[in-house]
A and B are shown apart, each in its own frame.
Chain A
């Protein structure tokens, strides 16, 4: 099944059998998964048809035209974007069958228990321990920056199972049940005033061995799949001009001539040009993916957007002058999803500071581009052949 026409008629047939207007939302999504139209490049029986990934656009276009419900990717992004490809690559047949369907329909939300207070960019230094006990593991430690943890049913978790070997070798990858005893989620209030992320404390959490993903000690390799998918999360939709962070500031400029100054005008035009060029670049990347020729450009897009978002939102606060001294609301909230361009200029300014930290700091991404794209030598390392327990912390 690779043919565009065949897939289009298959999608139409499905829509005829499950008219979106008269079908319950969840029933529709479950049936769509079972029909192999959830992600066509996944195997049959797991929501797909083993078709080329580029054909997904055919399905989406048909469904969108028919007014089909979507599966709310904003809320389930970690499941869809990171947990699913990792489960697909490393999960057992049982694991895939258990987790992928409710993950895709959004019935079960996932979160990611990777970062720790002492292990951010140096993620492999993590100290959360998983100790073998009977036919399972007992996990103790603390994770941080966990979005959706307060909504999540499941987590992908990496923990140290052997402190006696170098840090990359002693890590194992698990699926953690967030409803288990010993899992405590605490909101982590951020500079914006809201608690979009959480701290997660793991105290004597028991994880059966059949929730291990990949071999014992192979967790770092498994985590690479997750991290690569996190960083190359490319929007499948073409963005209109001024579709990103530049939109609100351009609107303010047009509507509020009294705020204009020559110096801000120069900065605005420069950033407008950069935003437009970034839009072309992600559109080009999207076209490459559709054509089946993914380029290395994806590695850098997050870097570009982080810098642009920060500069544009910073400009907007200044542009607002007296109003820039105000803030919309400092109330501590726990949003279900984050809308970077929502709320006011002050919020956008503060939230965008996270863009160069979350999902890999810009500094680490620059190293990755330099080493993997440009082939430059790695920095000399002093932590590679030392047992984790002997490393300075």
Chain B
């Protein structure tokens, strides 16, 4: 049976990541960064990916990684979600890494696992595991075309680009033009990638690599959404115990207590769903159904948690200075990332034999 608990090692990993984020990823800093030209936190990435070795969790030891599993990566993502950390962990250490694992490109995989190279899969962030993908034109080893909505491309050293010949190509980021788009989620910025005869090295077939990458992304995104929702709930409960109106702590009013209790229950359910998805990815058992279930459930809960947090914080929640908007924007963007809840439900209909009329 699926193991839905956290092991002692996973709890230790969580504690280490949380400590690092507490010291180096305060909301004010994240906010200031989003308004600068460099929204990604390079120093935090270095601590996390290189010093702690977490970029290589999914990579086997013989290929330069940690030989851990999706269960551990999920714990890291929970904490990164709780801090809306502006690091390309999901996009490089999970998505690009999974694509390369499917291709079996040891050299590049090792560089990504070390954390010293950041990779990005050049597939629009909105794309779900079952969706069709956009490609660029391949011509004698050079690539031509434009792809939009590429998450964390601005931080990437290497872009993994699907081309119309069915190949997945590794392209050095400085051989492409990466134009930042103005993104809803300031902490996971999107960019347009323009290729005008850029040299690319074919690393494998795009189809299976992208599908594998997007499935892992959708499954582990649930862990990030859990972190986001958990922050929203915890912070709102804390605030409502302190905030007084009508001569009472606001959290004492039954109408609000019931909303928070319901939210808590949804977060408890989200935790079980996210654990199930991480475990299914790690074990390879019942993976498609479990990932689709987790993603169909996670997105609405994370969005609702952050929307409730905003509403229950009152006026302060609408301000730029309060961090709740960073979480709301992340949650809403995550609800589209790697397939919407509706797209995952549609996939389920076929997987569990509940066909549409």
Point out residues on A near B: beta carbons under 8 Å.
238, 250, 253-254, 257, 260-262, 265-266, 268-270, 272-274, 276-278, 280-281, 283-284, 287-288, 291, 293, 297, 300, 303-304, 363, 366-367, 369-371, 373-380
Contacts and interface: CB of A to CB of B under 8 A. Distances in A.
B354 A268 contact: yes
Most buried by B among A273, A363, A371, A380: A273
A304 B237 contact: no
A217 B355 CA distance: 60
A262 B1 contact: no
Given A262-B357, A374-B237, A277 B257 contact: no
B3 interface: yes
A257 to B, nearest CB: 8
Contact of B345 (A262, A269, A283, A374): A269
B345 A270 contact: yes
6 contacts: A293-B5, A304-B265, A366-B261, A367-B258, A376-B260, A377-B248
A322 B248 CA distance: 53
B131 interface: no
Nearest to B252: A377
Nearest to B297: A277
A281 B260 contact: no
Given A280-B272, A376-B237, A366 B252 contact: no
Contacts of B237: 374-376
B240 interface: yes
Contacts of A277: 269-270, 272-273, 293-294, 297
B251 A300 contact: no
B28 interface: no
Nearest to A371: B257
Contact of A374 (B254, B260, B352, B357): B260
Interface string B282-303: 0000000000011011000000
A281 B294 CA distance: 12
Contacts of B345: 266, 269-270, 273
B356 A265 contact: yes
B240 A272 contact: no
B213 interface: no
Interface of B: 1-5, 237, 240-241, 248-249, 251-254, 257-258, 260-262, 264-265, 268-273, 275-276, 293-294, 296-297, 345-346, 348-349, 352-357
Contacts, number: 129
- In the A-B complex, the 9 residue pairs with the smallest Cβ-Cβ separation, listed nearest first, are A370-B257, A377-B252, A260-B357, A284-B4, A280-B272, A369-B261, A281-B272, A376-B251, A300-B265
Contacts of A288: 5
Contact of A272 (B276, B348, B355): B348
A376 B4 contact: no
B252 A379 contact: yes
A268 B293 CA distance: 13
Contacts of B253: 379
Given A269-B349, A374-B237, A377-B249, A281 B356 contact: no
B293 A273 contact: yes
B258 A363 contact: yes
B257 A366 contact: yes
Nearest to A303: B265
A380 B254 CA distance: 10
A370 B261 contact: yes
Contacts of B349: 265, 269
A272 B253 CA distance: 33
B241 A376 contact: yes
B296 A273 contact: yes
A376 B270 CA distance: 22
A376 B243 CA distance: 12
Given A278-B269, A374-B257, A375-B237, 14 more contacts: A261-B357, A269-B345, A274-B269, A276-B293, A277-B269, A277-B293, A280-B275, A280-B276, A284-B4, A287-B3, A367-B261, A370-B257, A371-B257, A376-B240
A269 B270 CA distance: 17
Contacts of B276: 280
B262 A366 contact: yes
A273 B348 contact: yes
B240 A300 contact: no
Contact of B257 (A253, A270, A300, A367): A367
A268 B241 CA distance: 38
Most buried by B among A268, A280, A284: A280
Given A253-B354, A277-B272, A380 B348 contact: no
A265 B271 contact: no
Contacts of A374: 237, 257, 260-261, 264
B272 A373 contact: no
A280 B248 contact: no
